[in-house]
């Protein structure tokens, strides 16, 4: 009996179920796997597009300075790095633009925490791309379930779910790729519980994208240590002084894990189609269906859930970054015909445009707690009394072909048509995961 097996009876029900799911045969239908491939394409696109952001350069330089075994690829770096370091760099790089996917069930970004860990370990283990994608899917699903278990109390207390729940997903993906036993995976989840961290106080700084890298690296590290014989408390999620107890978790395991292995929460992940805070997206999607004539507007009313009022409601932003967190500026950009999917639309120059300022000042943002967090209403009041209205819910099902088209369009805008098609073809192949690594090194 291994030391890991010897402590199996102490594993709590939640951890036991999560560990079993992490290593079990994956029964996800093709529709779910197709969404995972889309998220992989999206992750590659935002990672390559974010490669020259300051946080990406700083961490890439740190990886080069530390050196070590060349196991896993980094975005835009010719040399490989140890798997844990690659996960750190790629997680932060792919979240640097804050343009990656979001799952609203727990308000977290699953791809940027899990894909970096999965690719890093898959390259180190010489795994195939299909195995990597499946491990990432399992890890992302697990991270969402952990986020649901922790509940909104965890997020409202100031913890960033991408960093906390994401670390458990990264550990699960790494453990699966290393083919760890269920008891060992439980140890991974227990060990990573003492490493999972990230505070919303870092929002607006390099600390936020760093969170994604922290989660990915912690997951890889936990799996590597457990495989080497490291022993930790496997009951560190739900037991006394465990993660839920110390991190304001709601600890409703029954509801959070309902249908685990048969119902895939990940399928409802929301891809960003606008290069700004996800809180603005429902309003911008609603605008897409309206007859936009800015020269006749007298007033624009955006109605949103109250939680977004303190997140993305800067009334008079003067910088491109500020515009990404401003209903009024984002709406004005759209009304003027700027493509809100493109990074360059959010510029200091546009914010200083008198036409944009005039339209921005017509926008009124109203909170309404009867709306879901994923919903928004917009009303265009034209001079003369005509009013156009539209409403959008980001959780509304988007047909897979439409989603594929929009993710591909976004990727082409970020990394070009040729590279987008190369990534799409690779993700549908049986190639080695190292081929994806070669591609992201560029």
pLDDT in tens, 253-270: 888 999 999 999 999 999
Which tokens hold the place of 64? Answer: 């080069």
Which tokens hold the place of 126? Answer: 């010489």
- Bridge partners, 297 (sequence order): 382
Chain mean pLDDT for the chain: 94
What is residue 313's predicted lDDT score, i.e. its pLDDT? Answer: 93
Contact 384, 404 (CB under 8 A): no
Q: How many Å apart are CA 101 and CA 267, to the nearest integer?
A: 12
What is residue 65's predicted lDDT score, i.e. its pLDDT? Answer: 96
Distances (CA, A) of 386 to 284, 292, 389: 20, 13, 10
Mind listing the domains of the chain with CATH numbers? 3-270+401-441 (1.10.4100.10), 278-393 (3.30.1330.120)
Q: How many Å apart are CA 51 and CA 29, to the nearest integer?
A: 33
* Dihedral angle sign, alpha carbons of residues 19, 23, 25, 26: positive
Which tokens hold the place of 397? Answer: 């099902």
Distances (CA, A) of 93 to 214, 318, 422: 12, 25, 21
Which tokens hold the place of 258? Answer: 């309902």
Q: How many Å apart are CA 119 and CA 138, to the nearest integer?
A: 14
What is the Rg, in whole angstroms, of the alpha carbon atoms belonging to the chain? 22
Q: How many Å apart are CA 283 and CA 331, to the nearest integer?
A: 8
Prediction pTM value: 0.92
Beta-sheet strand order (sheet of 297-304):
363-367, 297-304, 375-382, 387-393
What is residue 4's predicted lDDT score, i.e. its pLDDT? Answer: 44
Task: Report the candidate in 177, 73, 179 with the shortest Cα–Cα distance to residue 135.
Answer: 177
Tell me the HSE value of 250 on the side-chain side, using a 13 A CA sphere: 18
Element (H, E) at 323: helix 320-323
Q: How many Å apart are CA 330 and CA 291, to the nearest integer?
A: 17
Residue-by-residue DSSP string for 283-307 = HHHHHTTS---GGGEEEEEEEE-GG
Contact 406, 270 (CB under 8 A): no
Q: How many Å apart are CA 122 and CA 132, to the nearest integer?
A: 6
Pairing mode, strands 297-304 and 363-367: parallel
Assign 90 to helix, strand or coil.
Answer: helix
**Distance from the first to the final alpha carbon of the chain:** 46
Residue-wise over 202-214: b if at least 16 C-beta within 10 A, else e?
eeeebbbbbbbbb
**Which stretches of the chain drop beneath a pLDDT of 70?**
1-10, 251
What is residue 253's predicted lDDT score, i.e. its pLDDT? Answer: 85
């Amino acid at each position: 009996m291994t030391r890991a097996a010897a402590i199996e009876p102490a594993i709590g029900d939640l951890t036991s179920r999560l560990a079993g799911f992490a290593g079990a045969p994956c029964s996800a239908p093709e529709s779910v796997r197709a969404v995972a491939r889309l998220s992989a394409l999206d992750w590659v696109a935002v990672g390559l597009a974010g490669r020259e952001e300051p946080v990406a350069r700083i961490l890439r330089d740190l990886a080069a300075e530390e050196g070590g075994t060349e196991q896993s690829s980094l975005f835009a770096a010719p040399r490989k790095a140890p798997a844990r370091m690659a996960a750190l760099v790629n997680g932060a790089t792919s979240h640097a633009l804050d343009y990656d996917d979001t799952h609203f069930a727990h308000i977290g970004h699953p791809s940027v925490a899990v894909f970096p860990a999965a690719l890093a370990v898959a390259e180190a283990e010489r795994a195939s791309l299909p195995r990597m994608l499946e491990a990432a899917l399992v890890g992302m699903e697990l991270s969402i379930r952990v986020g649901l278990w922790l509940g909104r109390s965890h997020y409202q207390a100031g913890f960033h779910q991408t960093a906390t729940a994401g670390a458990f997903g990264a550990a699960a993906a790494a453990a699966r790729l290393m083919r760890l036993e269920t008891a060992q995976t439980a140890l991974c989840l227990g060990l990573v519980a003492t490493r999972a961290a990230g505070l919303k106080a870092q929002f607006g700084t390099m600390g936020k994208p760093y969170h994604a890298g922290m989660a990915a690296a912690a997951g890889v590290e936990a799996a590597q240590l457990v495989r080497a014989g490291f022993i930790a408390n496997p009951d560190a999620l739900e037991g006394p002084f465990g993660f839920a107890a110390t991190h304001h978790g709601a600890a409703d395991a029954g509801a959070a894990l309902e249908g685990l292995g048969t119902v895939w929460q990940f399928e409802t992940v929301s891809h960003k189609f606008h290069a700004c805070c996800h809180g603005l997206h429902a309003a911008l999607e609603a605008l897409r269906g309206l007859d936009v004539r800015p020269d006749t507007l007298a007033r624009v009313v955006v109605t949103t859930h109250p939680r977004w009022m303190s997140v993305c409601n800067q009334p008079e932003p003067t910088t491109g970054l500020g515009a990404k967190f401003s209903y009024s500026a984002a709406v004005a950009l759209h009304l003027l015909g700027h493509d809100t999917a493109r990074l360059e639309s959010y510029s200091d120059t546009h914010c200083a445009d008198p036409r944009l300022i005039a339209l921005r000042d017509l926008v009124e943002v109203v909170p309404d707690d009867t709306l879901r967090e994923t919903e928004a209403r917009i009303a265009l009041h034209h001079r003369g009394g005509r009013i156009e209205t539209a409403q959008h819910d980001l959780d509304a099902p988007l047909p897979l072909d439409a989603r594929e088209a929009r993710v591909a369009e976004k990727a082409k805008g970020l990394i070009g048509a040729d590279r987008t098609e190369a990534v799409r073809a690779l993700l549908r192949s049986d190639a080695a995961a190292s081929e994806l690594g070669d591609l992201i090194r560029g």
